[in-house]
Structure 1
Amino acid sequence: MSTLSTTGITWFFACKTTDVPANGGVCIKFKEEQIALFYFTRSDAWYATQNLCPHRQQMALSRGMTGSHQGEPKVACPFHKKTFSLADGRCLNDEHECSLTTYPVRTEDDRVYIGVRENEEAY
């Protein structure tokens, strides 16, 4: 695993851009944690969240259905269909529900990097 630290964020190599299905997600393991990584082709945008669904405590969000809600990218848990914003992690079904941890994503030369905050490595 290669990492680079900048401005309080450690960036680790997650995968190649071709490893992620268009308009879908994959699960990336970082240390002992699972992170869901998503790619939206229409906007050429990348998002990363915790893979653990906070509602049912299942590692499933990377297999969720992606889409948008009023222009905001979202993922729906494949088990109970709670939807979460990929931009900021909040639950879109109920503002009082649990939210997701989100991570910054960047690409360089067909490689995808996910950033985790130092001293807070993966939720």
Structure 2
Amino acid sequence: MEIQSTNTTWTDICSINDLTPNAGICALFNEQQVAIFLCKQTNNVYAVANHDPFGQANVLSRGLMGSTEETVYVASPLYKQRFNLVTGECLDSDKEEHKLKTFAIRIENEQVQLKEAS
């Protein structure tokens, strides 16, 4: 599914009913692959870049969700590095180049919407 937006308004991506709790989906937004997750415990949605900076592949939407204390993360299906779904930071590396891009995400009228984070 390819969604393109040239302004800073919210863009419909899919229905909330298209998401499976604690699993990811991938959407194309402004020519970028975005991994979208719905957390069953908190009922929050998260959006990060789908590109794994370690494995150099677009696979994070297939990763496993988990949590440590108050941090919700996705573990890469390739080399298992964990990425904070709120900040994009890699929990297993301090290097800035391993941080994922995050996207502003919300649910409006049962639609999952994205916009570029500022």
Structure 1: any 5+ residue segments left out of the alignment?
119-123
TM-score computed with the length of structure 2 as normaliser: 0.88
RMSD: 1.9
* 1:3 to partner: Cα distance: 5.4
C-alpha distance in structure 1 between counterparts of 2:57 and 2:31, whole Å: 15
The aligned counterpart of 2:79 is 80
**Partner of residue 48, structure 1:** 47
Q: TM-score, normalised by structure 1?
A: 0.85
* Structure 1: distance between partners of 2:54 and 2:42: 28
Amino acid at match of 1:23: N
Runs of 4+ in 1 over 6 A off after TM superposition: none
Aligned residues: 115
CA distance in 1, matches of 2:12, 2:4: 6
Match of 2:112 in 1: 112
Is residue 25–residue 62 contact of structure 1 (8 Å, CA) maintained in 2? yes
Q: Which has the higher strand share?
A: 1
SS of 1:104's partner is strand
Tell me by how many angstroms 1:96 deviates: 2.5
For 2:104 and 2:22, how far apart are their aligned partners in 1? 18
Which residue pairs with 1:96 in the alignment? 95
Q: Could you say if the C-alpha distance between residues 55 and 44 of structure 1 is closer, same or farther in structure 2, counting changes exceeding 3 Å?
A: same
